[in-house]
Structure 1
Amino acid sequence: MKTINKAIIFLMVLALTAVATPSMAIEHEFHGMFRLGMVGSNYSGSEGPDYFSYNGSGMFANTPDTGSKHRSTAFYLDQRTRIMYIAKIDEDLKLVTQFEMNARWGDTDYKGSSISGGGAVGSDSVNLRTKHVFLDYTFHPWDLDINAKLGLQYFGDNYKGVFFSNDAAAAIFSTNIGKTSVRLAFSRFADNGSTNYSGTTNYTGGSVNPYNTNGLLFGFNGTVLDADEGTVGAAYGDVSADLYMLDAKYKVNKDLTIGGSYYFLYSDIARKLYGVTESTLNGYTYHVKYRANVHMLGFNAQGRLGPVDVNGFFLYQFGKTVSKNISAFAANLGAKMKLGPGTIKAELLYMSGDDGNRDNKTNAFVAIGGECGYMVTGLQFLARDNLLISNRNSSLFYDNNAGQGMMLGWVGYDLPLTKKLTFSTNVGYGAVAKQNQNVVTSSGQNLGTEVNISFPYKARENFTIAPRFAYVFLGDFFNGLAENGQDPDDIYSASLVMLLKW
């Protein structure tokens, strides 16, 4: 017995000694961001969604003629904080975590768990959200350096986020072989009885909208499902929605890189839980009988032509979702170059849409609703605002515009005024590719034209203050959508954003 006790003591001392040696020392890294936005707008944060709202998008409503022509101007302050902690074991192994806290000043006090809260007097709230927890491990088989990221993390497509760009539980493997880089990824978006597909919610957890074509993700094309079905009784992995991604890029020379991809989005939720059913709502009949089985092929390139940096992509989708065969595409071209003392940038984006009038076919480009984000522009309304991104409702272009697709053109110019102060201006035009009168009775395809200016001032190396103003001349898409068949007022926003990063 004494021999056993001595052996145990010896092993404990040996373990403590090993932990205390420099070879086992853990390096601790902290990074973060704090952003405060002060906003005045007759759209973002304004009164009820009215004709602008579609499934939380801030675009338009299924029941027009109800919103006031003159919307009230909202004034609010919104803050977001992110804290990242990285435990670095060695050069090949680390644990990465990131947490987020949001609050709109005056929103609530002493509140339970929520995306935002604690901004009212009294303040205390539980709104600490876990964004990332993943293992970052590089291993070296066959003289290769293969990086694996396993867990809750950010990842997105190689196509500027038009298909998917957000946080998810995923396994991502990447490596370089000569001039070629390869990425293989898998993510489980939903599993079994989660509220992501219960009868009273759409897959994003919000209220069911009968025309939620973004519901293509889980294979129910906007169908209002029977309450409580699918919430219990399935084995893990038996009823799920999964995404598989394979990307490759090849560096042709110092001025040109080309890439290709194959993505596969699969969901058997509707097929397994609801069988062959149909439902009629507002005179429109929905069929739920097939799995979502979406394939996507992509090509992308970036390079330099003389003084111009150019990039672009082409995506083609095929397969089946619900009862419709898909044939859809998206294409993009971007450019940037020095012009005088400043820099000029431009983007063109097209996403195919569908009018919703065919029973078995659709040309609506499938975007993973609520979880994608085309944020490479300098626009604040027609595309997702890349600075105040906590408020996604400020975007007229939201995902695939309810299956109607998108035509977007944008040009911007950045002019340094001093070493710390820059003048930036952007102009953009947006329209839906196809009108779907089953979604909203729109008068035309034109969403509008946006003009904005900002003056980012770099007060410190990692601290920027930016006054901004944006105005949208609404297009004929919105004609007659206000109450009594009136045209809604144009929309605007004035904001002051302070951003600290470390």
Structure 2
Amino acid sequence: MERLSSRNKMKVALLGACVLTMATAVQASAFENEFHGSYMLKYFISNYEQGGAGAILSGPTPAFPSGNTTSNLRINNYFEQRARLFYTAKASDDLKLVTGFEMDSVWGDKAQGALTAANSNATASTTTAAFRNSGGALESDAVNLETKWVYLDFKIPATPTRVRAGIQPFKDSIKGVMFDFDAAGISASTQVNAATFNTAYIRGYDQSYFSVGSPMNQANVRGNQNLDIGVVELKYALNKSANVGAAYYIYGDGRPLYLSATATTPVDTSTQVHAFGLTGDAKVGPVALSGFAAYQGGILRNVNSNGDSAFLNAFAYNVAGKMDVGPGTLKTALLFTSGNDNNASTLKSKHLTGWVTVNQSPDAIWGVSSVSSYNESGMILLNRNNLTSGPTTENMMVYNMGNGTTPINQQGLYLYTIGYDANITPKLSASLNAGAAWAAHTNALKPTDKHNNIQNASNYMGTELNIVTNYKLYDNLEAKIQAAYVFLGGFYKNSVLNGKNAVADPESPYTARVVLQYSF
């Protein structure tokens, strides 16, 4: 065989290098790296918002924040900020890894591990700077990168089914009034012609990571006592202008089945809630309508010292409409969730009628930290509305849609709202909203009139007026002003003592915010 000359050898080597480079380039071009995110800075002036999330007015007296119980409140002013970074590793439209990260802080909060993080689920070390929502104090230097999402998104080959597996966003199809959160789970969505079928399994908590309820002689057994949530949803497009749907959710809290690791008899304190919902939306002429009706049934075991169980029958419904009017959109909505009456506090009837929302409940301890929302209202202070809340500080009168702090004292809610969103110029828009709220039932959470130590007759909680203006400084940067005032109703009349120990109404909540929001 004739040997290649040195020149030919060089040509072959160059050709091989070119082929390898082209192959590498093709592979690199087939894989996409997507980066985007946002930054928000808010400045608050408020008599109730004070940099910590929760309900503004709850319990027999306004219990949170603890200092806001008089008719003469000092005014809070503070800054908070949030940055969110999202990265997607995209192999193709049918396969990608989605991640999201978050950094929150309030100016002047904590830095370099000098203080413990009292508002965190875990106590921070005083010698390290590793805790969430920190770094806003002098010299910053806090470890404050939170995981928001980490999930694999892929299409099952040769099927119409798409799967997400990992930490991801979940929201019910009944407008978030049962749950709206980020959590670890697996979900699947299948679309066949006009029908879409969604399923999901979510593990909210594993009790082996907490102190209470370890099984006898089997402490830290994984996956035996969990807060599990299951989702089945069906949506069907009747035509281009109308959709109907049905949903089923199971909320199964099996924590704890035992009171302690040394218990000799297992005690089942589990909760199981089954929720069924019907949804619909349609465009009727110039009006867009939407709504839902939902029912909850289930059982809460060993809810009192007698070992009694309580059975649940709760309801919720909503109807909303909007239409284009002039340079903007006129909108209105009504939301109802059922509540428990005074008999629920003693469980004489062993029957509960309060709407149950999913709550953050480490160690199976219920609290006000709801992960439900109702974004359709346009309210700022009256209900938990993610669209107008602060990055980390969310103070609302109705913080969860059951309007209570446990399944036993959910008061339920009537909330009527009306608003107008106006596009004034290509850069300037504004929204004006009004809403009124009533507790659906009277129970132990209702305040008492301190003149006569009797619960107030009125269930009217208050009326909010708010305005929001948005101005585009750049295509990606908006400046906003948000202002809201709540006129408290007879529900709170004479429910507090002022500084002179005299009976008084709590001061009506108000807030004003200046916002800068950058998206990329």
- Per the TM alignment, residue 251 of structure 1 is displaced from its structure 2 partner at its CA by 0.4
Q: Deviations over 1:93-143 (max 9, x none)?
A: 1111100001111112213233311111211111110111100011234xx
Counterpart of 1:130 (choices 147, 152, 165) is 147
Inter-CA distance 63–474: structure 2 relative to 1 (3 Å threshold): closer
Displacement of 1:19 after TM fit? 8.7
Contact persistence 1:192–1:239 (CA under 8 A)? yes
> 1:389 and 1:494 mapped to 2: Cα distance?
12
Partner of 1:246: 232
Quote the offset at 1:449 in angstroms. 0.2
State the shift of 1:419 in Å. Answer: 1.5
Q: Does the CA-based 8 Å contact 1:81-1:102 persist in structure 2?
A: yes
What amino acid sits opposite 2:36 in the alignment?
H
Q: Is the counterpart of residue 259 in structure 1 residue 245 in structure 2? A: yes
Q: Distance in 2 between matches of 1:348 and 1:261?
A: 20
The residue type paired with residue 124 of structure 1 is D
2:131 maps to: 114
Which residue type is aligned with residue 384 of structure 2?
R
Aligned to 1:458: 472
1:92 deviates by 1.0
Q: Distance in 1 between matches of 2:310 and 2:259?
A: 18
For residues 445 and 365 of structure 1, what CA distance do their matches in structure 2 show?
A: 17
Q: What residue in structure 2 maps to residue 365 of structure 1? A: 355
Contact 2:112 2:135 in 1 (8 A): yes
Do the aligned partners of 1:81 and 1:100 also contact (CA within 8 Å) in 2?
yes
Structure-1 separation of matches of 2:91 and 2:60: 53
Distance 1:181 1:251 in 2: 9
Match of 1:374 in 2: 374
Question: How far did 1:70 drift?
Answer: 1.5
Structure 1 residues 320 and 423: CA distance shift in structure 2, 3 A: same
Structure 2 CA distance for aligned equivalents of residues 409 and 157 of structure 1: 21
1:437 to 430, 437, 444: 444
- Quick one: which of 136, 150, 165 aligns to 2:180? 165
* 1:486 aligned residue: 504
d(CA) in 2 for partners of 1:255, 1:433: 34
Q: Which has the larger radius of gyration?
A: 2
Q: CA RMSD in A?
A: 2.6
Q: SS in structure 1 opposite 2:208?
A: coil
Deviation (angstroms), 1:289: 4.3
* 2:491 match: secondary structure: helix
Q: State yes or no: 1:340 paired with 2:341.
A: no
User: How has the CA–CA distance of structure 1 residues 230 and 333 changed in structure 2, closer, same or farther, with 3 Å as cutoff?
Assistant: farther
Secondary structure of 1:32 counterpart: strand
Matched ranges for 1:199-238 at <5 A? 199=212, 233-238=219-224
The DSSP-based 3-state class of the residue aligned with 2:257 is helix
| Contact 2:464 2:487 (8 Å CA) reproduced | yes
- Normalising by structure 1, report the TM-score: 0.82
**One-letter code of the match for 1:372?**
S
Displacement of 1:261 in angstroms is: 0.7
Q: Summarize deviations over 1:231-270 as a string: whole Å, max 9, x none.
A: 9704211111211100010000111100001111112213
Runs (5+) with no aligned partner, structure 2: 1-16, 114-128, 302-308, 360-369, 405-409, 449-454
Runs of 4+ in structure 1 deviating by more than 6 angstroms, as ranges, are 16-19, 228-232
Q: How does 1:59-74 map to 2 (within 5 A)?
A: 59-61=57-59, 67-74=69-76
Aligned residue for 2:34, secondary structure, equals strand
Partner of 1:38: 43
What's the CA shift string for 1:432-467, capped at 9, x where partnerless?
111212675452311110001122112222221111
1:20 maps to: 24
TM-score in terms of structure 2 length = 0.79
Checking the alignment, whether the CA contact within 8 Å between 1:349 and 1:407 is kept in structure 2 is yes
- Sort the Cα spacing of 1:130 and 1:232 in 2 relative to 1 into closer, same or farther, 3 A: farther
1:398 maps onto 2:399 in alignment: yes
Counterpart of 1:420 in structure 2 is 427
Greater alpha carbon shift after TM alignment, 344-353 vs 355-364: 355-364
Q: Which residue of 2 aligns with 1:189?
A: 204
Deviations along 1:396-422, one digit per CA (max 9) or x if unpaired, are 111111111111011111222222111
d(CA) in 2 for partners of 1:455, 1:337: 20
- Residues 392 and 447 (structure 1), Cα distance of their counterparts in 2 relative to 1, 3 Å cut: farther
**Distance in structure 2 (CA, Å) of the matches to 1:289 and 1:395:** 34
Equivalent of residue 314 in structure 1, options 293, 307, 312: 293
Contact 1:356 1:362 (8 Å CA) reproduced? no
Q: Aligned pair in 2 of structure 1 residues 35, 297: CA closer, same or farther (>3 Å)?
A: same
Q: How many residues align?
A: 439
Q: Distance in 2 between matches of 1:328 and 1:113?
A: 42
Contact 2:312 2:352 in 1 (8 A): yes
1:90 corresponding residue in structure 2: 92
Distance apart, 1:73 and its partner CA: 0.8
> Which moves more between the two structures, 438-447 or 323-332?
438-447
Which region of structure 1 is more displaced relative to structure 2, 412-421 or 130-139? 412-421
**Displacement, 1:300?**
0.3
